[in-house]
Structure 1
Amino acid sequence: MSTPNVAPEDDRYPWIRNLFDGYRYLFIGGATGIASLLTGLAWLLVCVATVPKLGLAAWKPLADWTQRLTTHERERAGDLLGEPVQGAFDPVTDGGRMYRFRLNFTSPGFRRTIAWLPAHGFAAPITLMLTAGHPWSTLWSVVLSVKWLFTDGGEPYSSSFFYTVDSAPLAITTIVLTLAVTAVIVAAVPWFARLQARLTKVLLSPLSSPRLAQRVVELTATRAAALEAHGAELRRIERDLHDGTQARMVAVVMQLGIAERSMHSDPTRALELIRQARDSATSSISELREVVRSIYPPILDDRGLDGAVSALAARCPIPCTVQVDDIRRAPAAVEAAAYFVIAESLTNAAKHSSANEVHVRLRTENGSLLIEISDDGKGGAEEGAGTGLMGIRRRAEAFDGRVHLSSPVGGPTTITTELPCES
């Protein structure tokens, strides 16, 4: 005799499973709702405090916490809905205040996440109180009605249906209505849970074309940075040529002209002027060579980026160590940008950090060149303090790269630069 197939309990009673999953989702959502409300308030306080630059240090830890909270809620919503919920929260937590405000509040993912915090913060606890609190009020109402019936009347009391119970029919009506409403609410618990999960999905998921919109915002910012960096570079080259090389060449011409007029009347003086003109021409050649090197250092062609960085470290006034983790050759423009980022960072460390040691690390990771420069100095570096950090950021952003600065007061200072190096 064959044994009949017995369906699992979950399959025979799916409403029990749905009710359990719904209550579990709503109970956890009540706790995360309070956390979301507090997180939204924290973002408001941090943004206000950032105006006088007091809240800059709180951006990263608050963004990390928000990322963990939203990731947890997306995973819960995905499990309940049976489909993954992608995230769109990618905050910018470094740079100046206007830079952060501009990039974050023009990012749809950031704005939608900030909107989700109070939405979930209010909706989740209210839904939990309705679905979990109503059965307790039902129990109390039924107890009062039953007590009124079995004690041959008693003191009239107000029901939750806006009438006063002062007779047996009204007491029975109250019991029936209370149980009916409770049954409807309990039956709707899975629906409430899915509604809450869909709210999370709608606000925390990317838009239909999120990456395109995000890239437009990013490329608009990097294009502006590239144009600004290019203009600054042209002005620097023009200034170097005008104030240095051109001035020396004018002096050479004048000295040779004077020497020519003095050739017959004062040969000794003419010879001295020719020597001065030769020295000026030699200095001009050296200055012109420095200008050319500032455009693209020849050492990059001769020794590669690792050799060029070793040469920079050798010339650094502070003891500097270099760690190169098997980097591969990048496009020439990217290597030049990396060279100048390191050179500027070492110059900043020598001028401002009071450090005893600097460490430079280069590695290639996920198609990007990662540069990490750290020192054991006094810290407290700020981009707006005229230390060249803004120039480093603009040079990196011109290549769609990113810069992260960590410099608490007391040190250490670490500058991490990421430059895409795919050809």
Structure 2
Amino acid sequence: MGRVRVAVAATRRALPYLLRGLVSSAVALVLLIRVLLVAAFTLIGIGWLAIPSTVRAVRRWAGGERRRVTAFTGRPVPAPYPPPDEPGPVSTRALLAEAATRRDLGWLLIHGLTGLVVGIGALLLPLSVLNAAVVPLYWSAMPSDDPVQSPYPVTSWLGALGMLPLGLGWLVLTLVLVPLLATWQAWGARALLLPTRDARLSERVTELTATRAAALEAHGAELRRIERDLHDGTQNRLVGVIMHLGIAERALRRDPASALPLLLRAQDQAADALGELREVVRSIYPPVLAERGLDGALAALAARCAVPCTLRVDGLRRLPAALEATAYFVVAEALTNTAKHSGAEHAEVTATVRPPAGPDEEEALVIEVRDDGHGGADESGGSGLAGIRRRVAAFDGHTEVTSPHGGPTLVRAVIPCAS
């Protein structure tokens, strides 16, 4: 019974996908005819001007197919060309030389020719089940000289009832074939529309170059902040301590009784300098991470948050120190934003280790901080969100901020554990 429910659920999910594919393939067939016409006119020298607009149309439709496949499979199909793509007449030859253009045209040909057949077949299977189920209800109303033909002439109750096991057979075929056809169509589209290996490597190099630059910028900004904190805070207090100790030394030689207040003041300034130095050290690597691990450190952050905060952790283990520190500062900055700007009454922090979703995926630490405040968080407003994004990007991760006006706000950071 469980297998039947699974098959029914898979069919209910696959059937709309194939019906949308039926419409998509009809448009693909029209685009394919346009491509052939442009190619024919290009051979006689007047079709070159139409190539860029035709390529843009194909790419737009292929982009829609990528979104459709992504929604069905749950696995993203990235575009192999940078958006927005607005090629002009000068880039026509480069467009035709791109592997992405050739792969898009290959998908257009296959989808345009096979999508109609697959979509019509997926539509006829459940209609056959429905027809077989209702024939016993209406065959007797048909004229005797024009019996129901479905798929044999139905002229008696025996023939009408014989449609029921036939309908059951159609149902089994529907439950088996419709998910298979959807899987086949999605697999074929994914194989053709994914970027080539060279394109993925090139994109990866570009991405790593950008994240490396962001990491160096973040590192430089962090060094400047530490230098500023030490110079403006700790160093000035230590200078004050030295000055008061010098004054106290001279007072001891002249009037020992007057030296005590100076020594006490120097002691207070030394204590303040030590406290500031500890704060700087915590900002570099919080000692609580080494003592209690990431889950304990996040629990301490949630407990100290000015807004009531709930913490949920799942599957956390000891991770590289730099990665744990980044996760800690992401949560600390997000909770600080919540307390200062959101007007929230409650916040929630979730930290989980997400297993790989496929052979090309890797294990990742997922941090989510959400609140029920008024929303409208703006990265350009100096809210610290840009700093969170830079920290995460330095580990080849990505950050998503969702904060519509009226709330709620969600900050989601995904950091690969292999970083």
1:204 alignment counterpart: 193
**1:305 pairs with 289, 294, 298, which one?**
294
Give the partner amino acid of 1:383. Answer: E
8 Å CA contact 2:79–2:193 kept in 1: the answer is no
Question: Offset at 1:33?
Answer: 7.2
Count residues in correspondence. 283
CA contact (8 A) 2:294 2:324 kept: yes
- 2:27 matched residue in structure 1: 31
- Which of 206, 210, 229 is the equivalent residue of 1:240? 229
> 1:372 & 1:33 partners in 2: Cα distance?
44
Distance 1:249 1:72, change over 3 A: closer
Change (3 A) 1:408 1:63: farther
CA distance in 2, matches of 1:351, 1:63: 45
Aligned to 1:182: none
Check 1:64–1:394 CA distance in 2 against 1; reply closer, same or farther (3 A cut).
Answer: farther
- 2:388 matches 1:399: no
2:410 is matched with which residue: 405, 411, 414?
414
CA distance in 2, matches of 1:91, 1:386: 34
Q: Displacement of 1:260 after TM fit?
A: 1.2
Sort the Cα spacing of 1:272 and 1:398 in 2 relative to 1 into closer, same or farther, 3 A: same
Q: How many angstroms apart in 1 are the aligned matches of 2:335 and 2:404?
A: 18
Secondary structure of 2:254's match?
coil
Of the two structures, which has the highest relative contact order with CA contacts closer than 8 Å and spacing of 6 or more? 1
Aligned residue identity for 1:410: G
With over 3 angstroms needed to count, the CA separation of the structure-2 counterparts of 1:277 and 1:339, relative to structure 1, is: same
- Segments of 5+ residues of structure 2 without an aligned counterpart are 1-20, 33-52, 88-94, 117-188, 356-362
1:264 aligns with 2:260: no
How do 1:215-254 and structure 2 match up within 5 A?
215-254=204-243
User: 1:356-375: per-residue Cα shift (whole Å, max 9, x none)?
Assistant: 10000011012111101100
Distance 2:31 2:71 in 1: 12
1:112 and 1:203 in contact (8 A); partners too: no
Kindly indicate whether the alpha-carbon contact (under 8 Å) linking 2:62 and 2:193 is maintained by their aligned counterparts in 1: no
The answer (yes or no) to whether the contact 2:66–2:190 under 8 Å persists in 1 is no
How far apart are residue 87 of structure 1 and its match?
Answer: 7.8
Deviations 1:33-64 (A, max 9, x none): 78999xx79x99xxxxxxxxxxxxxxxxx999
Runs of 4+ in 1 over 6 A off after TM superposition: 33-37, 200-203
Conservation of the 8 A alpha-carbon contact between 2:375 and 2:406: yes
Compute the displacement of 1:329 (Å).
1.2
| Inter-partner Cα distance in structure 1 for 2:276 and 2:312 | 31
Q: Which among 172, 191, 203 is matched to residue 214 of structure 1?
A: 203
Whether the 8 Å contact between 1:324 and 1:363 is mirrored in structure 2 is yes
Q: Distance in 1 between matches of 2:72 and 2:311?
A: 43
Q: 1:163 maps to which residue?
A: none
Which amino acid in the other structure matches residue 250 of structure 1?
V
Task: Say which SS state the counterpart of residue 282 (structure 1) adopts.
Answer: helix
CA deviation profile, 1:290-309 (whole Å, cap 9, x unmatched): 11111111101111111111
TM-score (norm 1): 0.58
Matched, 1:389 2:385: yes
Tell me whether 1:345 sits opposite 2:334 in the alignment.
Answer: yes
- Checking the alignment, whether the CA contact within 8 Å between 1:371 and 1:418 is kept in structure 2 is yes
- Partner residue of 1:13? none
Question: Which residues in structure 2 correspond to 1:148-163 (within 5 Å)?
Answer: none
2:276 alignment partner, one of 265, 287, 304? 287
Q: CA deviation at 1:116?
A: 5.5
CA distance in 1 between counterparts of 2:22 and 2:294 reads: 56
1:29-178 paired onto structure 2 within 5 Å: 29-31=25-27, 67-69=66-68, 88-89=77-78, 112=100
CA distance change for structure 1 residues 348 and 87 in 2, over 3 Å: closer, same or farther? closer
Name the structure 2 match of 1:369: 365
- DSSP 3-state at the match of 2:411: strand
Q: Matched residue of 1:328: which SS? A: coil
1: distance between equivalents of 2:328 and 2:270? Answer: 29
1:89 Cα deviation (Å)? 1.4
Alpha-carbon distance, 1:385 to partner: 1.5
User: Is the 2:79–2:194 contact (alpha carbons within 8 Å) kept by the matching residues of 1?
Assistant: no
Q: Give unpaired runs (5+ residues) of structure 1.
A: 1-24, 45-61, 75-85, 93-99, 129-199
Distance 1:263 1:236, change over 3 A: same
Q: 1:322 is paired with a residue of what secondary structure?
A: strand
- Partner residue in 1 for 2:311: 322
Q: How does 1:176-187 map to 2 (within 5 A)?
A: none
Deviations 1:44-92 (A, max 9, x none): 9xxxxxxxxxxxxxxxxx9996633466999xxxxxxxxxxx9851699
Query: What TM-score does the superposition give when structure 2 sets the normalisation length?
Result: 0.58
Q: 2 CA distance for matches of 1:317 and 1:91? A: 46
Distance 1:346 1:26 in 2: 48
How far residue 346 of structure 1 moved from its aligned partner, in angstroms, is 0.3
**Residue identity matched to 2:402:** S
Question: CA 1:323/1:88 → structure 2, altered by over 3 Å: closer, same or farther?
Answer: closer
Change (3 A) 1:262 1:371: same
Please say if residues 70 and 77 of structure 2, whose CA atoms lie closer than 8 Å, have aligned partners that are also in contact. no
1:358 correspondence with 2:347: yes
Say whether the 8 Å CA contact 2:62–2:104 is kept in structure 1. no
Between the two proteins, what is the percent identity of the paired residues? 52
Q: Is the 8 A contact 1:330 1:422 kept in 2?
A: no
Shift of 1:203: 7.6
SS at match of 1:323: strand
Note closer, same or farther for the CA distance 1:380–1:91 as it changes in structure 2 (3 Å cut): farther
Given residue 201 of structure 2, which amino acid in structure 1 is its aligned partner?
A: L
